[in-house]
Amino acid sequence: MPFSQREKSHPFSSISQENPWLILEETQPIKLYGPNQLVYLQQETAQQFYYLKSGKVRIFLSSPEGEEKTLSFAGPGSLLGEASFFDGRPRVSSARTLVKSEIITVTGEVLLQCFRQNPELAMELCRYLSGTIRMLSAQVDSMAFQQADQRLAELLLQLEENGTVTATHEELGALIGVSRVTVSRVLGAFTRRGWISTGYGQIVLLQPQRLTGFSRPWKP
């Protein structure tokens, strides 16, 4: 889950090779969400999905008793709620902003218009959905076969951008199913080994190859 990802003769005339979804920022209204604001709700019918231009969003499940289980955190360039939009079934999760966020609503009409002008965008969407499936499969594999410290090492590698992971201990724990205390303990051990350094809400991967070997020692 995870977690950023414009010409003027026609509103859909250009497409960024680095992030094809930037086309939405040129052509669609951007809605500003405040912190802790609901984007969509579990069990509702999906008439649209969303593109996160800026900010951070938590994807979570809710039980009938009101308990919540975090599935992933989404950052800029992410799509939100796309699975239920395409299969036409009720949403299986909810999404809520963690910080001030800019979000674009994408309807079927808007998406088809993008596809007509830029067919490559359809392939980009397929790649994005395939990446989501691969990430979920990796999470299931991790929960089934890895210890907590191995799961955390692999998560750091997955979330790394330019050698840095921006996440709190609580967020990391929610993603691998362990407590904040456990995350702090494991990160402390990684720091003592010289593999990482930590700061407020930020982790620098000093020796990512060590984390790779630790998280999956049976891999070549």
Instruction: Report pLDDT digits (tens) over 23-34.
Output: 888 889 999 999
209 within some domain? yes
Within this chain, do residues 112 and 27 fall inside the same structural domain, yes or no? yes
Average pLDDT rounded to a whole number, residues 163-180: 88
Domain boundary among 102, 136, 170: 136
Average pLDDT rounded to a whole number, residues 141-151: 73
Give the whole-angstrom CA distance, residue 190 versus residue 173: 15
Give the whole-angstrom CA distance, residue 72 versus residue 57: 9
12 within some domain? no
CA neighbor of 151 nearest in space, from 160, 162, 140, 161: 140
Within this chain, do residues 157 and 113 fall inside the same structural domain, yes or no? no
Average pLDDT rounded to a whole number, residues 2-26: 49
Number of structural domains (the chain) is: 2
Within this chain, do residues 96 and 151 fall inside the same structural domain, yes or no? no
CA neighbor of 20 nearest in space, from 33, 31, 4: 4
21 close to 80: Cβ distance less than 8 angstroms: no
Lowest mean pLDDT of 25-39, 59-73, 93-107, 177-191, name the range: 59-73
pLDDT exceeds cutoff 70 at 54: yes
Within this chain, do residues 71 and 164 fall inside the same structural domain, yes or no? no
60 close to 93: Cβ distance less than 8 angstroms: yes
Q: Which residues pair with 205 in a beta bridge?
A: 196
Within this chain, do residues 30 and 119 fall inside the same structural domain, yes or no? yes
Residue 153, domain CATH: 1.10.10.10
Instruction: Report pLDDT digits (tens) over 179-205.
Output: 899 999 999 999 999 999 998 889 999
Residue 42, domain CATH: 2.60.120.10
Within this chain, do residues 31 and 119 fall inside the same structural domain, yes or no? yes
Domain boundary among 81, 103, 136: 136
Angstrom distances, CA of residue 39 to CA of 85, 95, 126, 188, 193 = 14, 5, 23, 35, 41
Contacts for 146 with CB less than 8 Å, ≥ 6 apart: 154, 215
30 close to 24: Cβ distance less than 8 angstroms: no
Within this chain, do residues 169 and 89 fall inside the same structural domain, yes or no? no
Give the whole-angstrom CA distance, residue 63 versus residue 144: 22
84 close to 15: Cβ distance less than 8 angstroms: no
208 close to 157: Cβ distance less than 8 angstroms: yes
1 within some domain? no
Domain boundary among 113, 136, 159: 136
pLDDT > 70: percent of the chain: 85
185 within some domain? yes
Contacts for 172 with CB less than 8 Å, ≥ 6 apart: 152, 155, 156, 183
Give the whole-angstrom CA distance, residue 14 versus residue 141: 39
Residue 141's pLDDT band, with cuts at 50, 70 and 90, is low
Residues of the domain holding 49: 22-136
